[in-house]
Amino acid sequence: MKHCTMLAAVLLIFVAARAAATDKGSILIDLQPKANQKLDENLHNEKFEGNKLSGLPKGESLFGDVKFKIDEKLIQLGCKYVQDKPDKVEGIKVEKKITKLYLLHATGFGAFGNPGDPLFINDGVAIAKYTVKYEDNSEEIIPIVYGEDVRDWFNHDQSKPATRGKIVWEGENEFAKNFGATLRLYLTEWKNPKPDKKVVSITFAREGDSVAAPFCVAITADEK
């Protein structure tokens, strides 16, 4: 009996150590100082009643196989249909050496109708970028391309896949139900080409003049 108890204790220590090792080095980047849109308020237009992301689980959760922290607010960029939000949000603080970034994001608009319609975006159109700034003031750009990294968060296109990003969350809200649509968020993974340089901050900005209103819900990094 004593031997079994000791064996059980050793196994518990091993499991705990393995779990800690697996989680070690994961940085859940805090977006809240720069976030400008509450998940439980209507996105894109205050008249879009029930158009919310309040169904997302708050706190730390796995999306795909990546842990993210979901807080009260996200970062929403503007477009011609979302004029109360900025085209660029600077100074998302990192201050770490990292090997990878994981972006949990999507865009408002893009999949409604057909090519040529006001709320449709063709695949291959650049809609946003993340600029990674290093301690020596050098930069790397992470381009976000419609149809490759993300699509419209409203599933108007029968879950048409993206070629790089992958859907890691699906849900619903009352406004989307009016269109027979569900919701989706995408995961983009980026490998840092300069892991030996400290990343100071990230800028999230719109690209081009499409109708896209990109938004970022959470960012996680692997610490070097």
How is 191-215 classified by DSSP, letter by letter?
E-S-TTSEEEEEEEEE-SSSS-EEE
What is residue 12's predicted lDDT score, i.e. its pLDDT?
44
In the chain the domains, ranked by start, together with CATH numbers, are 26-223 (2.60.120)
Question: Which residues, 6 or more positions from 219, have their beta carbon under 8 angstroms from its beta carbon?
Answer: 29, 31, 68, 92, 101, 102, 103, 104, 202
Would you call 148 exposed, middle or buried from its count of C-beta atoms within 10 A (0-12, 13-18, 19+)?
middle
DSSP state of 86: -
Say how far apart CA 2 and CA 69 lie, in whole Å: 42
Per-residue pLDDT of the chain (224 residues; tens, 9 = 90+): 544 444 444 444 443 444 444 445 899 999 999 999 999 999 999 999 999 999 999 999 999 999 999 999 999 999 999 999 999 999 999 999 999 999 999 999 999 988 999 999 999 999 999 999 999 999 999 999 999 999 999 998 877 889 999 999 999 999 999 999 999 999 999 999 999 999 999 999 999 999 999 999 999 999 99
Prediction pTM value: 0.88
Residue 218: which of 173, 187, 172 has the closest Cα?
187
Amino acid at 198: K
